[in-house]
Structures are given as structure tokens and as C-alpha cells.
Structure 1
Amino acid sequence: MTWEILTIIGTIAFALSGVIVAMEEDYDLMGVYILGLVTAFGGGAIRNLLVGLPISALWEQGHLFTIALIVMTIAFFFPKLWVTKWMKWGLIFDALGLAAFAIQGALYATSMGHSLSAIIVAAMLTGTGGGMIRDVLAGRKPIFLRNEIYIVWAMLAGIVIGLELVTGTVGIMILFVVIVVLRMLSVYMRWSLPHRTLSQ
């Protein structure tokens, strides 16, 4: 049940983020659908390849495709109902999607008996893969390559779950909230990782 809830939250959040980017880039309806779908499902597809699942496993998520298509259709045809709210709360939706998919990816890899390193990478790719594909298709610099901390919080989910520091539904939901809060704090407090440019 926890897994399913996290998946639905992540799917809706990332589908909406794909829609808003597509609308900012003035894509048509099919462009909106494509960008929304790759954002919502791209990370899971990359994760499946990583952990050894056939890519066809993606098509077993018919109900999630239906949810994503309904959400994107409503978002496209009735933007006034949500765009202003997205501009205000969009960062929270992105944080929800990151946390939900990172935890889901880590749980998936754990259930298959993979090593800690594989669990961490599964969390990273599931949490950020869809956004990476979205930004590349839209001609933008992927969010996890910017100065602000992003992918680290997905790694944290993988570490915590891989080391079994949390167990059960309550523990997973607490971890979910912690990752969302850390992501929001990293933006508003302008936390960043060390970075360096090559100067001539």
C-alpha cells in the first residue's frame, strides 16, 4: 500500500511538472503528453533496466498511465485552475515527486535483494531520471546538475532504506516527509554542494 501511494504521488507530481515545462516551451498537446509521460515514467524505466527487469514491465502500470493522462489533460485544458498555484507550490510538487520516486526505487531494489550501492543508484535514477529526460528534451540544464542540492536527497533515501534504518509504513512515511523538508530547505536556505570552474 505504501509503495502504491508513493507511486501515485510521484506520478501526478512529475506529470504536472512535465506539463508546466511543456507549456513554458509552447509545446502543442502531443508535446505536453510526451513530456509529461517521460517525466512521470522515465525514471522508472531507467531503474528497471538497472535492476534487471525487462523494459516491458513498464507497460504493466496501466492504471498509472491512465492517472497521468487524466491529470495532464485537465492541466492542459484548464490551466487557470492550477497554473497560478503551481507557480507558488510547484517546488513542493517536485519535492514530493523526488521523495516518492527515490523511496520507491530504493524499495524496489531492496525487494530484489540488490547491494547497497545498487539500491542507492536505483533511488537516484528513479527520483531524478524522469526530470533529467524532461529537461534534456526541453533543452534545459537538468535540475540535478545545478548548484542547488537535489540528487543528494535521493541518495539519502537509498542509504537509509538500504541500511534498513527505517522499516514499516510509518518509518517510510517519516523518511518521505524528511526528504521533502530537506529538499525545500536546500532551496530556501540556498544550500549547495562545493563546485569549481576551470579558470584560464
Structure 2
Amino acid sequence: MVWDSLNVIGVIAFAASGALTALEEKYDLFGVWVLGFVAAFGGGVIRNLLIGEPILSLWEQKTLLYTAFGVSTLLFVLPTSWLLRGKGTWVLFDAIGLGAFSIQGALTAAEKGLPLIAVAIAAILTGIGGGVTRDVLAGRKPLVFRKEIYATWALLAGVVIQAGVLVQEWQLYLLFTLIVILRMVSLRFHWHFPQRPFLKT
């Protein structure tokens, strides 16, 4: 139940994130569909490749596929004034997708009995994979490679789930809410890892 719910939440959030990125880059409808699709499903495909899950299972999620294209199309036809009015909240879609998919990825790996490192990587790749693919196709520097704290919150999901301390559904939803809040707070207060300046010779 939790896995399915997080899957739906993540697909909607990342499809919206991908579509909005495409619109900001002035892509046409096809470009909006492509970025919405890869943002919603790219992380899951990468995860499945690494932990041995069948990739073809993607095509069995017909409802979610239609949902991603539906969300992308809806954003494409909405008035520009509406989109601009809500531009400040666009990052929330990315945060929601990060929270939902990182937990879903960790659950998938943990259910296979994989070790901590595999669960953590599954959480990170599921949480950030779609966003990285989206940014690359949009010609942008992926968020995870900037100084902002981003993938760390996906790592947190993997570690907590592998620890086995969350046994109730409400606890998983609480973890999801916590990850979204931490992502938004870290963005608001500019939390970041140290960077080393590289001097040109």
C-alpha cells in the first residue's frame, strides 16, 4: 500500500517537475512529454538495472504511464499566467518526488534482502535519477552536482529503512514528510557542502 502510494506521488511530482522544466526551456509539446516521462521513470529504470529488477516492468505500469503524460499535458495547456504565479513552488514538486522515490527505492532493495550499501544506492538513484536525466536533457547542471544538499536526504531514507526501525505505514509517510521538509529547509537556508575552488593556470 505504501509502495503504491509513494509510486503515484513520485510519478505525479516528477512528471510535473519535468514538464515545468521543459516549459521553462521553451520546449514543444513533445519535449514536455519526454522530460515529464524521463523525470518520472528514469530513476526507477536505473535502480532496476543495478539491483536486478526486470526493466520491462515499467511497461506494466500503464496507469502511471498515462498519469505522467496526463500531468505533462495538463501543465502544457495551462495558462502561462498560472504557471508563472506558482513558479516559486516548482521546487516543491522536485522535493516531493525526491522523498517519495527515495523511500520507494530503498523499500524495493530492502525487500530483496540486499545489504546497506545497495539499499542506500537504490534510494539515491531512484530519488535523483529522474531529476538528473531531466536536467541533462534540458542542458542544465543537475541539482545533485551543485553545492546544494540534495542526494543526502535520499541517502537518509535508505539508511533509516535498512535499519528496520520503521515498521508501520504511518512511519514511512512521516519519513516522506521529513525528507520533503529537510529538502525545502536546506534550499531555503542555503545549506551546502564545502566546495574547493579550482584555480585556472
**Length-normalised TM-score, structure 1:** 0.96
* 1:175 aligned onto 2:175: yes
Matches within 5 A, 1:85-104: 85-104=85-104
Letter in 1 for 2:189: M
SS at match of 1:33: helix
Q: CA RMSD in A?
A: 1.3
The number of aligned residues is 200
Asked whether the equivalents of residues 75 and 82 of structure 1 are also in contact (C-alpha less than 8 Å), the reply is no
State the alpha-carbon separation in 2 of the partners of residues 182 and 165 from structure 1.
Answer: 20
CA distance change for structure 1 residues 160 and 90 in 2, over 3 Å: closer, same or farther?
same
Segment of structure 1 superposing worse, 91-100 or 75-84: 75-84
- Where does residue 61 of structure 1 map in the other structure? 61
Displacement of 1:90 in angstroms is: 1.2
- 1:158 and 2:158 aligned: yes
Provide closer, same or farther for how the CA distance between residues 85 and 127 of structure 1 changes in structure 2, counting only shifts above 3 A.
farther
Q: How far, CA to CA, are the matches of 2:114 and 2:106 in structure 1?
A: 10
CA deviation digits over 1:52-100, x for unaligned, max 9? 0122111111110011111111111124475135412112221111000
The separation in 1 between residues aligned to 2:162 and 2:137, in whole angstroms, is 32
Corresponding residue number in structure 2 for 1:125: 125
Q: Percent identity?
A: 50
**Structure 1 residues 24 and 111: alpha-carbon distance in aligned structure 2, compared to 1, 3 A threshold:** same
Cα distance in structure 2, aligned partners of 1:33 and 1:57: 20
What amino acid sits opposite 1:97 in the alignment? G
CA distance in 1, matches of 2:93, 2:79: 16
The alignment partner of 1:195 has SS state of coil
Runs of 4+ aligned structure 1 residues displaced above 2 Å come to 79-82, 197-200
Equivalent residues in 2 for 1:45-60, closer than 5 Å: 45-60=45-60
Q: Are 1:24 and 2:24 an aligned pair?
A: yes
User: Which residue is equivalent to 1:190?
Assistant: 190
Structure 1 residue ranges without an equivalent (≥5): none
The C-alpha deviation readout for 1:145-197, integer Å capped at 9, x for no partner, is: 11110000000000000111222201101111111111011011111012212
State TM-score, norm by structure 2: 0.95
Secondary structure in 2 aligned to 1:100? helix
2:75 corresponding residue in structure 1: 75
Q: Which moved more, 1:102-111 or 1:65-74?
A: 65-74
Aligned AA for 2:195? H
